[in-house]
């Protein structure tokens, strides 16, 4: 049962990573924050941006998205390593 929870968390982190990448791309393409799609991406990715801003208050605003992606990738690597360690017991 614990493996399924770890897998769900891993997929959720992956989903949010792709949402952040989508926000970067749609902001570059459209740039209008009044658009429905842009507001959708902003609404779902802003919690990760807030956490990243708290962890790295010295980072410039343009470095927040790659830093958030890096944090998610590190968390996913740690989660996969933990899941592998549990499976081999």
Per the rule left: phi > 0, alpha: psi between -120 and 50, beta: everything else, 32 is beta
State mean pLDDT over 63-71.
93
Selected residue with higher pLDDT from 72 and 59: 72
pLDDT by residue (tens digit) across 8-52? Answer: 999 999 999 999 999 999 888 887 778 888 888 889 999 999 999
Closest CA to 42 of 54, 24, 58: 24
pLDDT of 37 reads 84
Reported confidence tier of residue 1, pLDDT bands at 50, 70, 90:
low
pLDDT of 87 reads 81
């Amino acid at each position: 049962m614990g493996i399924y929870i770890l897998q769900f968390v891993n997929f959720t982190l992956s989903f949010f990573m792709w949402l952040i990448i989508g926000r970067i791309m749609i902001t570059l393409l459209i740039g209008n924050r009044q658009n429905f799609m842009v507001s959708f991406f902003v609404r779902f990715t802003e919690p990760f941006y807030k956490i990243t801003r708290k962890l790295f208050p010295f980072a410039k605003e343009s470095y927040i998205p790659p830093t958030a992606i890096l944090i998610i990738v590190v968390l996913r690597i740690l989660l996969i390593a933990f899941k592998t360690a549990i499976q081999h017991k």
